[in-house]
Amino acid sequence: MRGEYKVPGGKLVAVELDVVDGRLSDAHLSGDFFLEPDDALEVIDGALDGLAADTSTSGIAAAVDVALQAAEAAGTLVGPVALVGFDAWAVAVAVRRALGLATSWEDHTFEVLRPGPLPVPTLAALDQVLTEELAEGLRGPTLRFWDWDERAVVIGSFQSLSNELDPEGVAKHDVTVVRRISGGGAMFMEAGNCVTFSLVVPGSLVDGMTFEQSYAFLDAWVLEALRSIGVEAFFSGMNDVASPAGKLAGSAQKRLAGGAVLHHMTMAYDIDSDKMLEVLRIGREKLSDKGTKSANKRVDPLRSQTGMPREAIVDAFEACFKRLYKTEDSELRPDELERAEKLVETKFATPEWIARVP
């Protein structure tokens, strides 16, 4: 069996192995990485041989690290160990993929959804519906772009309603308040001023990854999409994407017990910062932490960096995703919309949910 893992920004790691009586056997590591000294390769192979086939990603990585450290301490290697372009965790992911316990992008066909404008509470409810449906085997992995016609604020699952929102600003600007199922910060969303998408994937795609690792892994295509429209971007912190001109986007995630992962991102296109400041309680401490006194500086809009219409940017993102991965165009089914509307009625539009953290 063979498994491969391309380290984001790094090298390709491949492992070939067999399984005998429930344990790894005849494991061989290869790839375009750099490894010093040469005989460390045999140490890694030896560390894999004999491991139980159901060993976790972290357990495999720990076995490789321990074996390398022991060999170095014993002086059996010709010089200190250096893994360049990969690490023990990357080896572990390749092993898990060889065993079929972890999957890669190439193992899946993604359904692409662009259903057109929907109420923001319905869009948030669809996050839950589509993620649950993947866990239930009713739909495959999906990429869904959001469109809406109203002014809204979508707050994170654990944010305090009173701390985040100014009631007078909400009333003045007729803002719909929605609480999503994932964590993260508040999103001020006027129609046409953000680019938002939801990605629903099986847990096997991020098998063994920490939240920090999975954010970079699931957003790698976004950096490529931004490059395609002339924006050089990079990861900033755990879940943000930025350019030299400032922050562009933030991501959030929710992992369900059934094995499905919801990952979504919102990018600023053309934010009305004055209006946003009247609606959101953005404290001085939060602003000073980012070295700025103005919300204009906190989130640099895509419009100013590309000069492109929002719809053209969404088209470019869709085209990039389809170029990189196997996809098929799809539509929301009537029963999915009905399920979402029921959730709006019983959860997302209720005061109990919206103010569940007062």
Cis bond upstream, residue 37 (ω within 30): yes
pLDDT band at 285 (very low <50, low <70, confident <90, very high): very low
What distance separates the 2 farthest-apart alpha carbons in the chain? Answer: 72
* Measured CA distances, 95 to 16, 54, 69, 81, 207 (Å): 8, 10, 20, 21, 11
Q: What's the pLDDT at 299?
A: 52
State mean pLDDT over 273-286: 75
Residue 327 pairs in a beta bridge with 110
Q: What's the pLDDT at 300?
A: 57
Token look-up 């991501």 returns 251
Q: What's the pLDDT at 272?
A: 86
* Measured CA distances, 23 to 78, 94, 101, 207 (Å): 30, 16, 14, 20
Asked whether residue 134 carries a pLDDT value surpassing 90, the answer given is yes
Residue 199 pairs in a beta bridge with 143, 263
Asked whether residue 185 carries a pLDDT value surpassing 50, the answer given is yes
Asked whether residue 294 carries a pLDDT value surpassing 70, the answer given is no
Residue 28 amino acid letter? H
Q: What average pLDDT does the structure give for the chain?
A: 92
Low-confidence winner among 65-79, 259-273, 289-303, 319-333 (lowest mean pLDDT): 289-303
State mean pLDDT over 290-317: 75
Low-confidence winner among 103-117, 145-159, 268-282, 326-340 (lowest mean pLDDT): 268-282
Q: What's the pLDDT at 264?
A: 93
Asked whether residue 223 carries a pLDDT value surpassing 80, the answer given is yes
pLDDT band at 296 (very low <50, low <70, confident <90, very high): very low
Q: What's the pLDDT at 269?
A: 93
Q: What's the pLDDT at 213?
A: 86
Asked whether residue 342 carries a pLDDT value surpassing 50, the answer given is yes
Q: What is this structure's pTM?
A: 0.87
Q: What's the pLDDT at 38?
A: 94
Q: How far apart are alpha carbons 231 and 61 in whole angstroms?
A: 35
Answer yes or no: are the C-beta atoms of 115 and 144 closer than 8 Å.
Answer: yes
Q: What's the pLDDT at 258?
A: 83
Asked whether residue 282 carries a pLDDT value surpassing 80, the answer given is no
Q: How far apart are alpha carbons 14 and 4 in whole angstroms?
A: 4
pLDDT band at 290 (very low <50, low <70, confident <90, very high): very low
Asked whether residue 237 carries a pLDDT value surpassing 80, the answer given is yes
Sequence-ordered list of residues with C-beta below 8 angstroms from that of 112, at least 6 positions apart, any chain: 142, 143, 144, 318, 321, 322, 327, 328, 329, 330
Asked whether residue 287 carries a pLDDT value surpassing 60, the answer given is no
Asked whether residue 347 carries a pLDDT value surpassing 60, the answer given is yes
Strand, helix or coil at 234?
A: strand
pLDDT band at 211 (very low <50, low <70, confident <90, very high): confident
Answer yes or no: are the C-beta atoms of 263 and 209 closer than 8 Å.
Answer: no
Strands, DSSP E only, in the chain?
A: 2-6, 12-20, 23-31, 34-36, 82-84, 110-113, 142-145, 152-155, 176-179, 187-189, 194-202, 234-236, 240-243, 246-255, 260-268, 327-329
Q: 134: buried, middle or exposed (CB in 10 Å: 19+, 13-18, 0-12)? A: buried
